[in-house]
Amino acid sequence: MFYNSNTFERDRQLVSQILGVRYSNSLERYLGLSNMNTRYLSQEGNEAILTYSMDCFLLPKSLCGELESILARFWWQKGHGRQCEWNQLCELKENRGLGFRRLAKFNLTLLAKQGWRLINYPNSLLACVLKAKCYSNSDFLSARLRNIPSYTWKSVWASMGLLQDGLCWRVGTGAKISVLGDVWLPRVVNYKVGNNISNADVTMVSNLIDSWNPPMGMSVKINFNAAYDL
């Protein structure tokens, strides 16, 4: 169990008692990391250790740069010299690189997966705790970073932009999808309706479904190229 340093001792004991788990102030000893000998790990195993922290916390870019320097020295420590620059090794294989991950981008991608889990599994323990504490009045994609947030929430929140760049609504009833504010048209640039709607009453996608023949006196004009997607 991981607790913030600002958590009161009585709160730690209460939560641990409810969940039936133990906690320790020395996580290294609790997890056995202090006794870990990297001599028995492969090169892939040594690099995989980083992902456990990167999956939960946003590492500073300066730290990611230092870690990449350590990884570069690790790969070239056999005494054969640097046969290729590290930046070239991080290029895609189709660009004559080896596809090594840039740690800062990889860190953000792992955190985006946590955000994706918050969206798809809203009843999970993590989602319930973060929603109650950080975005109780909104959904994850509409949440804002409040004053003095926990480092865990700040880290996951940092990946929201990456998620928003790749997410698109799958239209069902359209009752929760804003015509202009949300991304819901997969064949349009930026997935959004670029033109204004002439009728102010049409705000949700549900207003457009089964409404192509509006009543007398009501007109709806939408100019975009993907009307067939509806």
Residue with tokens 């004009």: 221
Q: What does the pLDDT look like over 33-52, one tens digit per residue?
A: 544 455 556 656 666 677 77
Using DSSP, state whether 178 is helix, strand or coil: strand
Identify the pLDDT of residue 52: 79
Please count the other Cβ atoms lying within 10 Å of the Cβ belonging to residue 62: 9
Residue type, 25: N
Give the distance from CA 161 to its chain's centroid: 8
Q: Quick check: 116 pLDDT over 90?
A: yes
Buried/exposed 148-176: b ≥16 CB within 10 Å, e otherwise: eeeebbebbbbbbeebeeeeebebeebee
Instruction: Summarize the confidence of residues 192-217 as an average pLDDT.
Output: 65
**182, two tokens:** 């949300």
Residue 174: left (phi > 0), alpha (psi -120 to 50), or beta?
left
Q: What percent of the chain has pLDDT over 70?
A: 70
Using DSSP, state whether 161 is helix, strand or coil: helix
* Cα–Cα distance for residue pair 70/67, rounded to 1 Å: 5
HSE value, Cβ hemisphere, 13 Å, CA-based, for 159: 28
Instruction: Summarize the confidence of residues 51-59 as an average pLDDT.
Output: 85
